Amino acid sequence: MPNSKRNSSDNKNAKGDRIVYSEFGNNATSPATERALPNLPPNQQNLRVQASRKGRKGKTVTIISGFQSNSETLTALLKQLKNQCGAGGTLKDNEIEIQGEHKEKLLEVLTKLGYKAKISGG
């Protein structure tokens, strides 16, 4: 009876690990699986500015969402907005979070930069 073990090299990747299942090929971070974000100019982006306290132990943060830009553009904008508000902030999932309630100030700054922004929520 022939040997039932497979010694095929086509089911191993470069590390020598065995691939059990692969839907999109061998490389999980291939350019085909990455989501392409269009880098739209500011006047074509509709932004929402809202204050939130959910999941932050009562601390208020101002969230700006609706960006359609790459991370380099958002990082530069984040730095500029943090300087304008005099507060800390971060970039999470293409949303900018600024510590504190700065809805009106951020709305004013964003409209001066050419973004179409509006206040969302109460």
* Residue 86, domain CATH: 3.30.780.10
**Residue 4 included in any domain:** no
**Residue 98 included in any domain:** yes
CA angle 86/92/94 to nearest 5° reads: 100
Domain span holding position 115: 42-119
**Residue 83 included in any domain:** yes
Number of domains present in the structure of the chain: 1
Q: How far is CA 6 from CA 16, 19, 23, 53, in A?
A: 14, 13, 22, 56
Please give the model's pTM, rounded to 2 decimal places: 0.69
Q: Angle 103-112/71-85 helices, nearest 10 degrees?
A: 130
Per-residue pLDDT band at 2 (split at 50, 70, 90): low
Instruction: Summarize pLDDT for 28-40 with one digit per residue, the tens.
Output: 555 555 556 678 8
